[in-house]
A and B are shown apart, each in its own frame.
Chain A
Amino acid sequence: MTAHPSPFALGLIAPDSAPIHLPEPFLRWFAQHGWAPRPHQLELLSKAETGASVLLIAPTGAGKTLAGFLPALVDLSRRRRRKPGERPRGVHTLYISPLKALATDIARNLERPVEEIGLAVTMETRTGDTSQVRRQRQKLKPPDILLTTPEQLALLIAGKDAADFFSDLRYVVFDELHSLVTSKRGHLLALGLARLRKLRPELQTIGLSATVSEPAELCRWLVAQTPGAAPEADLITVEGGAKPDISILESEERVPWQGHTARYALPEIYEAIKAHKTTLLFVNTRSQAELLFQELWRINDDTLPIALHHGSLDVGQRRKVEAAMARNELRAVVATSTLDLGIDWGDVDLVIHVGAPKGASRLAQRIGRANHRMDEPSKAILVPANRFEVMECRAALDANYLGHQDTPPLRDGALDVLAQHVLGMAVAAPFRTEDLYEEVTSAAPYASLARETFERIVEFVATGGYALKVYERYAKIRLTADGTWRLTHPRFAQQYRMNAGTIIEAPMLEIRMIRRRTASAIARGGRALGKIEEAFLETLSPGDTFLFAGEVLRFEGIHETSCLVTKAASEEPKVPYYGGSKFPLTTYLAKEVRAMLADPARWSALPDQVRDWLSLQKLKSVIPGPNDLLVETFPNGRMFHMVLYPFEGRLAHQTLGMLLTRRLERARAMPLGFVATDYSISIWGRRDIGEMIAGGSLSLDALFDEDMLGDDLESWMADSWLLKRSFRQCAVISGLIEKRHPGQEKTGRQVTVSSDLVYDVLRAHEPDHILMQATWADAATGLLDVSRVSDLLARVKHHIVHIDLDQISPLAVPVMLEIGRESVVGEARDADLRDASREAMIALAMGEPGG
Chain B
Amino acid sequence: MTLQPHAYALSHAGEVCLCALLPQRSRAPTLAIRPSSRPNGNETRIKQRDMRAMNALARRRSQGECAALEIALAGERVACDPSGVLYLPAEDCLVVSDLHLEKGAAFARRGMFLPPYDTAATLSLLALCLDRYSPARVVCLGDSFHDRKGAALMPASERDTLAGLMRGRDWVWIAGNHDPEPPQGIGGETLLEMTIGALAFRHEPSAGLRRGEVSGHLHPVARLAGRGSRRACFATDGARMILPSFGVTTGGLNVLDRAFHGLFDMPRALACMIGHAGIYPVRFGSLARG
> Is A575 a contact partner of B34 (Cβ separation < 8 A)?
no
Query: Does A578 make an interface contact (CB < 8 A)?
Result: yes
A757 to B276, CA, bound (A): 16
> Is A582 a contact partner of B3 (Cβ separation < 8 A)?
yes
Knowing A760-B55, A829-B228, the reply to whether A765 touches B115 (Cβ < 8 A) is: yes
Give every chain B residue within 8 A of A673 (Cβ-Cβ). 7-10
Knowing A665-B47, A823-B4, A830-B15, the reply to whether A836 touches B52 (Cβ < 8 A) is: no
B69-94 CB contacts (< 8 Å) to partner A: 69, 71-72
> Is B10 a contact partner of A539 (Cβ separation < 8 A)?
no
B1, B15, B282: the one contacting A575 at CB < 8 Å is B1
Give every chain B residue within 8 A of A676 (Cβ-Cβ). 5-7
> Is A471 a contact partner of B108 (Cβ separation < 8 A)?
yes
> Is B238 a contact partner of A848 (Cβ separation < 8 A)?
yes
> Is B33 a contact partner of A819 (Cβ separation < 8 A)?
no
> Is B281 a contact partner of A819 (Cβ separation < 8 A)?
no
Distance in angstroms from A665 CB to nearest chain B CB is: 6
A448-494 CB contacts (< 8 Å) to partner B: 460, 463-466, 468, 470-471, 474, 476, 491-492
Q: Which of B126-134, B167-175, B190-198, B263-271 contacts A (4 or more CB under 8 A)?
A: B263-271
Give every chain A residue within 8 A of B251 (Cβ-Cβ). 752-754, 757
Query: Does A253 make an interface contact (CB < 8 A)?
Result: no
> Is A828 a contact partner of B228 (Cβ separation < 8 A)?
yes
Distance in angstroms from A57 CB to nearest chain B CB is: 33
> Is B8 a contact partner of A658 (Cβ separation < 8 A)?
yes
A535 to B2, CA, bound (A): 14
Query: Does B109 make an interface contact (CB < 8 A)?
Result: yes
> Is B273 a contact partner of A837 (Cβ separation < 8 A)?
yes
B251-278 CB contacts (< 8 Å) to partner A: 251, 265, 267-270, 273, 275-278
> Is A848 a contact partner of B268 (Cβ separation < 8 A)?
yes
A741 to B118, CA, bound (A): 22
Query: Does A70 make an interface contact (CB < 8 A)?
Result: no
Q: Across the two chains, which residue of chain B brings its CB closest to A540? A: B289
Distance in angstroms from A337 CB to nearest chain B CB is: 15
> Is B109 a contact partner of A650 (Cβ separation < 8 A)?
no
> Is B229 a contact partner of A827 (Cβ separation < 8 A)?
yes
Give every chain A residue within 8 A of B162 (Cβ-Cβ). none
Knowing A474-B111, A754-B249, A845-B33, the reply to whether A840 touches B224 (Cβ < 8 A) is: no
B1-29 CB contacts (< 8 Å) to partner A: 1-13, 15-16
A14-32 CB contacts (< 8 Å) to partner B: none
B52, B117, B229, B290: the one contacting A762 at CB < 8 Å is B117
Give every chain A residue within 8 A of B52 (Cβ-Cβ). 715-716, 718-719
> Is B116 a contact partner of A468 (Cβ separation < 8 A)?
yes
Query: Does B35 make an interface contact (CB < 8 A)?
Result: yes
Query: Does A296 make an interface contact (CB < 8 A)?
Result: no
Give every chain B residue within 8 A of A715 (Cβ-Cβ). 50, 52
A720, A757, A845, A850: the one contacting B283 at CB < 8 Å is A850
A287 to B115, CA, bound (A): 38
Query: Does B161 make an interface contact (CB < 8 A)?
Result: no
Give every chain A residue within 8 A of B71 (Cβ-Cβ). 844, 849
A279 to B56, CA, bound (A): 51
Query: Does B155 make an interface contact (CB < 8 A)?
Result: yes
> Is A468 a contact partner of B117 (Cβ separation < 8 A)?
yes
A670, A756, A849: the one contacting B237 at CB < 8 Å is A849
A841 to B280, CA, bound (A): 8
Query: Does A661 make an interface contact (CB < 8 A)?
Result: yes
> Is A832 a contact partner of B224 (Cβ separation < 8 A)?
yes
User: CB-defined interface of B150-177 with A at 8 Å, one 1/0 digit per residue?
Assistant: 0000010000000000000000000000
Distance in angstroms from B47 CB to nearest chain A CB is: 6
How many contacts A-B (CB < 8 Å)? 271
A463, A675, A757: the one contacting B56 at CB < 8 Å is A757
Count the B residues whose beta carbon is within 8 Å of the partner chain — how many? 80
A460, A463, A577, A822: the one contacting B7 at CB < 8 Å is A822
Give every chain B residue within 8 A of A764 (Cβ-Cβ). 55, 57-58, 117, 121
Query: Does B184 make an interface contact (CB < 8 A)?
Result: no
> Is B4 a contact partner of A830 (Cβ separation < 8 A)?
no
> Is B117 a contact partner of A832 (Cβ separation < 8 A)?
no
Give every chain B residue within 8 A of A675 (Cβ-Cβ). 5-7
> Is A841 a contact partner of B55 (Cβ separation < 8 A)?
no
Knowing A753-B249, A764-B121, A832-B224, the reply to whether A819 touches B7 (Cβ < 8 A) is: yes
Knowing A575-B2, A830-B12, the reply to whether A850 touches B268 (Cβ < 8 A) is: yes
B115, B237, B282: the one contacting A833 at CB < 8 Å is B282
Query: Does A276 make an interface contact (CB < 8 A)?
Result: no
Knowing A765-B115, A765-B121, A844-B35, the reply to whether A824 touches B55 (Cβ < 8 A) is: no
> Is B113 a contact partner of A464 (Cβ separation < 8 A)?
yes
Give every chain B residue within 8 A of A822 (Cβ-Cβ). 4-9
Give every chain B residue within 8 A of A658 (Cβ-Cβ). 8
Give every chain A residue within 8 A of B209 (Cβ-Cβ). none
Query: Does B136 make an interface contact (CB < 8 A)?
Result: no
A821 to B5, CA, bound (A): 9
Query: Does A671 make an interface contact (CB < 8 A)?
Result: yes
> Is A654 a contact partner of B117 (Cβ separation < 8 A)?
no
A840 to B286, CA, bound (A): 11
A575 to B4, CA, bound (A): 13
Give every chain A residue within 8 A of B15 (Cβ-Cβ). 829-831
A769 to B115, CA, bound (A): 10
> Is B35 a contact partner of A841 (Cβ separation < 8 A)?
yes
A672, A736, A821, A850: the one contacting B269 at CB < 8 Å is A850
Query: Does B186 make an interface contact (CB < 8 A)?
Result: no
> Is B3 a contact partner of A260 (Cβ separation < 8 A)?
yes
B21-61 CB contacts (< 8 Å) to partner A: 33-35, 37, 47-48, 50-58
Give every chain B residue within 8 A of A671 (Cβ-Cβ). 10
Give every chain A residue within 8 A of B56 (Cβ-Cβ). 756-757, 760
Distance in angstroms from B140 CB to nearest chain A CB is: 20
User: CB-defined interface of A548-583 with B at 8 Å, one 1/0 digit per residue?
Assistant: 000000000000000000000000000101100010
A470 to B156, CA, bound (A): 11
> Is A818 a contact partner of B47 (Cβ separation < 8 A)?
no
A577 to B228, CA, bound (A): 18
Query: Does A674 make an interface contact (CB < 8 A)?
Result: yes
A769 to B50, CA, bound (A): 26
Give every chain B residue within 8 A of A657 (Cβ-Cβ). 8
Q: Across the two chains, which residue of chain A brings its CB closest to B289? A: A538
A526-548 CB contacts (< 8 Å) to partner B: 535, 538-539, 541
Distance in angstroms from B172 CB to nearest chain A CB is: 26
Query: Does A825 make an interface contact (CB < 8 A)?
Result: yes
> Is B281 a contact partner of A818 (Cβ separation < 8 A)?
no
B205-242 CB contacts (< 8 Å) to partner A: 224, 227-229, 231, 236-238
B89-115 CB contacts (< 8 Å) to partner A: 103, 105, 107-115
Query: Does A175 make an interface contact (CB < 8 A)?
Result: no
A821 to B3, CA, bound (A): 11
> Is A578 a contact partner of B2 (Cβ separation < 8 A)?
yes
Give every chain B residue within 8 A of A261 (Cβ-Cβ). 1
A670, A677, A720, A847: the one contacting B53 at CB < 8 Å is A720
Knowing A822-B4, A823-B7, the reply to whether A837 touches B282 (Cβ < 8 A) is: yes
Knowing A538-B289, A845-B33, the reply to whether A829 touches B11 (Cβ < 8 A) is: yes
A495 to B229, CA, bound (A): 32
A798-851 CB contacts (< 8 Å) to partner B: 818-819, 821-834, 836-837, 839-841, 844-845, 847-851
Pairs of residues from A and B, 4 with the lowest C-beta to C-beta distance, nearest first = A828-B228, A850-B268, A464-B113, A822-B7
User: Other than the known A471-B108, A824-B12, A840-B282, what 15 A-B pairs have Cβ atoms closer than 8 Å?
Assistant: A463-B113, A665-B10, A675-B6, A718-B52, A753-B114, A761-B115, A761-B121, A761-B249, A764-B58, A823-B4, A823-B6, A828-B224, A833-B275, A837-B281, A841-B280
User: What are 6 A-B contacts with C-beta separation under 8 Å?
Assistant: A735-B112, A736-B112, A761-B118, A761-B249, A765-B120, A822-B6
- Measured CB to CB, the residues of B under 8 A from A are 1-13, 15-16, 33-35, 37, 47-48, 50-58, 69, 71-72, 103, 105, 107-118, 120-121, 155, 224, 227-229, 231, 236-238, 248-251, 265, 267-270, 273, 275-278, 280-283, 286, 288-290
